[in-house]
Chain A
Amino acid sequence: MNCRSEVLEVSVEGRQVEEAMLAVLHTVLLHRSTGKFHYKKEGTYSIGTVGTQDIDCDFIDFTYVRVSSEELDRALRKVVGEFRDALRNSGGDGLGQMSLEFYQKKKSRWPFSDECIPWEVWTVKVHVVALATEQERQICREKVGEKLCEKIINIVEVMNRHEYLPKMPTQSEVDNVFDTGLRDVQPYLYKISFQITDALGSSVTTTMRRLIKDTLAL
């Protein structure tokens, strides 16, 4: 089974990075989250309800819909905040990317640890631009809003291709497919990482090293 990979690119002003990333990530997670599963006897289960919330952006003329889950929002804001700080501190050309990867865990026999098999990866490449005047910023607000609208349409188009999705798991397997740690919703297992790229395109990959370490960890 191949991993599906989608790439989106956005050009934003520095203060728009956070909201643009949150909009994209939340839209993807809205489609990749279900209600909490409640398993009953005989292998049946019922599904909780997912609420949604409109979020207005402060620095972009844009509103996005996210799942009503404070925990999920906090988790995303944390990593997006780290990405934004890394971009700001990099001092490079303001190029970076975040990856949202959905994966399944596959149990391996001892002594090997569980394998994480990605089945869908969303990569958002960000280019930060610096603007001088208020008028340029105002135009940027609207332009970035329109671009994000296009991105949302792209995301929805991919989602509705109804390509591979992990099979609904049994109760014992649910943690291999879904993140059951949240109280109110249940997204597919995911991990978010980011990279800051310099002008030459090579990456400052502290997170890559961390991923490799995780894979080899026993």
Chain B
Amino acid sequence: METDLNSQDRKDLDKFIKFFALKTVQVIVQARLGEKICTRSSSSPTGSDWFNLAIKDIPEVTHEAKKALAGQLPAIGRSMCVEISLKTSEGDSMELEIWCLEMNEKCDKEIKVSYAVYNRLSLLLKSLLAITRVTPAYRLSRKQGHEYVILYRIYFGEVQLNGLGEGFQTVRVGTVGTPVGTITLSCAYRINLAFMSTRHFERTPPIMGIIIDHFVDRPYPSSSPMHPCNYRTAGEDTGVTYPSVEDSQEVCTTSFSTSPPSQCVFTVTKAHFQTPTPVVTDTLRVPMAGLAFSHQLSSSRLSCQPAALGVGSADLACPAVFAAGLNTTHPYQLMVPGKEGGVPLAPNQPAHGAQAGDQERLATYTPSDGAHCAATPSSSEDTEAVSNSSEGRASPHDVLETIFVRKVGAFVNKPINQVTLTSLDIPFAMFAPKNLELEDVDPMVNPPDSPETTSPLQGSLHSDGSSGGSSGNTQDDFVMIDFKPAFSKDDILPMDLGTFYREFQNPPQLSSLSIDIGAQSMAEDLDSLPEKLAVHEKNVREFDAFVETLQ
């Protein structure tokens, strides 16, 4: 098999597969960042855009992918997998998707490596761009922020689909035959989430409104940690550098021949291009602290503004900055998520009583050299997360701690009579049914006709303080997971139409019905009556005159 492929073709093919794997990871992770991606077309080839597609390279992601690959390529039995999972602010997590890049034995000897394989890989990447917006996790990732974040993990080896629960679905993105095997890209995704957003509009019970399986021990506890799908600024991580992007300097200048079509001229050159060289990056070190990267939080935009640096294409400016100095004493720094809600929780979450045996995996990152964890929280529900992480910060440098914490998940519906409410720490505890486990009264299964609290979702996150308005009948309220009023966009203003509607959909309580004013007892009322009558009798003449004017 190998003798059919000459050495140049073999080298090219290996390079294509390697960069295809790296670009695949970039596309998947960028699609789960929570914001819209936009890249520009360029009519003149820059020579740095693999597969003729403008796909930015996030350095951390490239680093992670290379680390997972460890110099190998996807081969038969060795797949590259990207796992996307969701983690709530309470610390519960759940796998959403596994994207697999696999190779099988079916070879296509006739295909031309430098021409057809390259173009088909390009087509496959375009398909991946389209498919990543179509799986249920995409809509979840667009709404990440306060309540949950999306994490990714890359591993290499056997595909592990156990965490997706029963009934997961697969979608094949595409295949490309090569002389050494067929590359297949596919995605296995959890489907029960697809019902969450529609549940509050439909009375039909969801097929799987509960997920009870994600605390099964993973048979292959993988060594690679989870990472948040977001992006930190260079300025805040002054000590953070990434072991250069020398590979991305290896560009693909492709020339194709048309005469005759069977002949192809294909060159891959190294580092001969006009964009920043290591010399330039040294000068970029100085302004790095005050870099004009505008960074926002896990739920919002990613924008890389290297305009201030005056370097060439935006694609290469980002990695150029991170390559400054090629500081290898910190070969691997993981970026800690930003200010809001994106913190992987530190070790101080107590493992919960009943389920302390099984463990879920959390990773915390303790960066060194002044790079810090999440900044001050901007919302109260994050204080717990942040204070925990700040304690985690005290631990020694360069230690990657994996903490095993077991909690009752956000979507668990254990029979309540087996678990007392006091030991539960579920996010929507105030809505937990207080009676038996009858599915009929389970608010997660049968939403009532109308919500009775002012802001059920806010009420649930502040589970200690339900406002006066949300009294009684809490078990009849349902939790609105998603509400999309027409014409509203919630990615710009903090207070959008949906939030406004939720907050003001119930009128405030009448003051006369509130307890304070009603505290006066009946006896006092009666006692004060004679005084009031006396006052009125004094003014009887005025009243009579008034009555006469009316006649």
Contacts and interface: CB of A to CB of B under 8 A. Distances in A.
Interface of A: 27, 30-31, 34-36, 38, 40, 42-56, 58-59, 61, 63-65, 67-69, 134-135, 137-139, 141-142, 146, 149, 152-153, 155-157, 159-160, 162, 167-171, 183-185
B291 interface: no
B39 A65 contact: no
Given A35-B42, A141-B484, A160-B124, A49 B256 contact: no
Contacts of B378: none
17 contacts: A31-B126, A43-B258, A44-B255, A49-B45, A50-B52, A51-B39, A51-B42, A61-B197, A63-B36, A63-B133, A63-B138, A67-B41, A68-B41, A142-B198, A152-B130, A156-B127, A160-B173
A3 to B, nearest CB: 20
B38 interface: yes
Given A65-B133, A68-B40, A168-B261, 16 more contacts: A43-B259, A46-B255, A47-B45, A47-B254, A49-B49, A50-B52, A50-B53, A54-B36, A55-B36, A135-B201, A138-B201, A138-B486, A139-B202, A159-B174, A162-B177, A183-B43
B46 interface: yes
A44 B256 contact: yes
B265 interface: yes
B120 interface: yes
A160 B123 contact: yes
A49 B46 contact: yes
B255 A52 contact: no
B4 to A, nearest CB: 20
Given A49-B45, A141-B484, A153-B131, A43 B52 contact: no
B130 A54 contact: no
B210 interface: no
Contacts of B54: 49-52, 68
Interface string B160-190: 0000000000011111110000000000000
B257 A65 contact: no
A167 B139 CA distance: 39
Interface of B: 36-46, 49, 52-54, 120, 123-124, 126-127, 129-131, 133-135, 138-139, 142, 171-177, 194, 197-198, 201-202, 253-259, 261, 265, 484, 486-487, 489
Nearest to B47: A46
A52 B171 contact: no
A156 B125 CA distance: 11
B43 A162 contact: no
B43 A36 contact: yes
A159 B135 CA distance: 18
Contacts of B45: 35, 38, 46-49
A158 B172 CA distance: 11
Given A48-B41, A49-B45, A152 B134 contact: yes
Nearest to B42: A49
Given A142-B197, A168-B258, A50 B36 contact: no
A68 to B, nearest CB: 5
Nearest to B139: A61
Contacts of B486: 59, 134, 137-138, 141
B522 to A, nearest CB: 46
B194 A30 contact: no
Contact of A45 (B133, B171, B202, B256): B256
Given A68-B38, A68-B41, A162-B120, A46 B134 contact: no
List 4 tightest A-B contacts by C-beta distance, closest first. Answer: A160-B174, A43-B259, A54-B36, A51-B39
Contacts of B139: 61
B110 to A, nearest CB: 12
Contacts of B53: 49-52
Nearest to A15: B486
A169 B201 contact: no
A113 B264 CA distance: 33
B129 A53 contact: no
B255 A40 contact: yes
A185 B126 CA distance: 14
